[in-house]
Amino acid sequence: MKRYTNEHEWAQLDGDIATIGLSEYAIKELGDITFVELPEVGVSGNKNGGMAFIESVKAASDIYFPLSGEIIEINSELEDKPELLNEDALSTWISKIKCSDVSEFEDLMDEKAYLAFIETL
């Protein structure tokens, strides 16, 4: 099950490992993705802290840690093919983190709450 932030990242938890990506809404708002600056493996961050950077034909934006933890894997395929995010936002992940506090996952919005949130934007 995916959960969402108000900055449009999604997280899917498996034990204490979270897979992180961007919502379809975020990708549609950004338009055609042209560049993704991925985080480095081993970097730690706090929930809502900057994790990565994305550029599109419309805008540039930060990607934030939805949960506190350490980057343990990145989707290096995005370096050469950032458009994969446009093709399938909900299956294309950006990074995986080892969470330092898995209880933070419960603070994120479930899909129903997220859909209600984006209707207000």
Question: How many structural domains does the chain have?
Answer: 1
Which pairing describes strands 44-45 and 69-74: parallel, antiparallel, or unpaired? antiparallel
Q: Is the pTM of this model over 0.85?
A: yes
Q: pLDDT in tens for each of the 121 residues of the chain? A: 999 999 999 999 999 999 999 999 999 999 999 999 999 999 999 999 999 999 999 999 999 999 999 999 999 999 999 999 999 999 999 999 999 999 999 999 999 999 999 999 9
What is the pLDDT at residue 18?
98
Domain range spanning residue 100? 2-119
Backbone angles phi, psi at 117, to 5 degrees: -60, -50
What is the pLDDT at residue 93?
98
CATH of the domain at 83: 2.40.50.100
Phi-psi region of 15 (alpha: psi -120 to 50; beta: other; left: phi over 0): left
SS3 call for 65: coil
